Amino acid sequence: MQKRALGKGNLEVSALGLGCMGMSFSYGPPPDRNEMIKVLHAAVDRGITFFDTAEVYGPFTNEDLVGEALAPYKGKVVIATKFGFNLNPDGSPGWQGLNSRPERIRLVAENSLKRLRVDAIDLFYQHRVDPNVPIEDVAGTVKELIAEGKVKHFGMSEAAAATVRRAHAVQPVTAVQNEYSLWFRRPEEELIPMLEELGIGMVPYSPLGKGFLTGKIDESTSFDKTDFRNTLPRFTPEARKANQRLVDLLGKIAKQKNATPAQIALAWLLAQKPWIVPIPGTTKLHRLEENIGAVEVDLSKQDLEQIENAAAEVKIEGARYPEHIEKMTNL
């Protein structure tokens, strides 16, 4: 597995990471825990060293799973987790608004250290920007945690370029995690140029469009009632039908390259910048191996131009999130 550095933050990880959320949260009933531990071990065996979780995934169960599975690989893997929400007091899935107050950040750090079974959190993201807490206070609190040896690197998620810049002035930001893929390209407008200027890495989540860009979902696909994609405007049958054109495009290019649509979508991201590290999630070993194969797909300048020209003709239909969730992004 190739390695990449996340910006100038001196954090080297595998070129492809693994998003762990779906192993216990969001995409229908949680899979068997022991099976997920096997998938996590298989990921390490195949060269993946970068794993993404958060306290809100479950809540808590995903961090606990990742902590148990990766305990044998202490010091050999990088685990990223996140703070930023008030969780439901009864422990049920979901949250009760944003909370990045310093005391909350510290509490999450202490609890995440225990669940992840580590001495320091490798990469600690603010999950969503809290408009009620100055970003300088957030960055300052993480700076203190780094000085105390409890955190190694500071990250931000779904933050606007100007907000990242302000935080970075207090505590250097190692990576920004935002949705980025062929079907959501807003980061190209302001965020990516700013990251390049400041030497900050980018970690695209949902690099396969929450499964849509794999070509395995169409307008007739039905999801489990607990699958959060049922709530997303971009996943209505009408939107899926309209957006099929993008998947067809990926399939065409995939055939030319003897690859799969998912591999082309990931290879396209990897080709954008050398400091971009996508974190596709999966619960299946064969999908893990398929995703890893994307690292070996070489897209020439001509291939990238072909993708660019064809993608420019596809208008993506449907908002990516319901309005109340979208309001928490790009702050």
57 an active-site residue? yes
Confidence of residue 95 (pLDDT cuts 50, 70, 90): confident
Tally of residues, the chain: 331
Residue 310 is predicted with a pLDDT of 86
pLDDT at 313 over 90: no
Note whether 261 and 268 are within 8 A (CB).
no
The tokens 């009933």 sit on which residue? 29
| Omega within 30 of 0 (cis) for the link into 59 | yes
| CA end-to-end span of the chain | 35
- Cβ neighbours, 10 Å, residue 76: 9
pLDDT cut 90: percent of the chain above it: 89
pLDDT at 63: 98
**pTM confidence score:** 0.96
Give yes or no for a contact between 55 and 316, defined as CB atoms under 8 angstroms apart.
no
How do strand 3-5 and strand 12-14 relate by DSSP bridges?
A: antiparallel
Residue 205 CA, distance from chain mean position: 3
Q: What pLDDT band is residue 124 in, cutting at 50, 70 and 90?
A: very high
Per-residue pLDDT tens digits for 11-45: 999 999 999 999 998 887 889 999 999 999 999 99
Annotated catalytic residue within 27, 57, 180, 205: 57
What is the band of 175 on the pLDDT scale with cuts at 50, 70, 90? very high
Is beta strand 95-98 parallel, antiparallel or unpaired with respect to 121-126?
A: unpaired
What tokens were used for 306?
């072909």
Is the model's pLDDT at 108 over the cut of 80? yes
Domains detected in the chain: 3-211+273-296 (3.20.20.100)
The pair of structure tokens assigned to 132 is 């009620």
Angle between the N-to-C axes of helices 161-170 and 135-147, in degrees from 0 to 180, rounded to the nearest 10: 40
Structure tokens given for 20: 């762990």
List CB contacts of 34: < 8 A, sequence separation 6 or more: none
- How does the average pLDDT of the chain come out, rounded? 95
49 has a pLDDT exceeding 90: yes
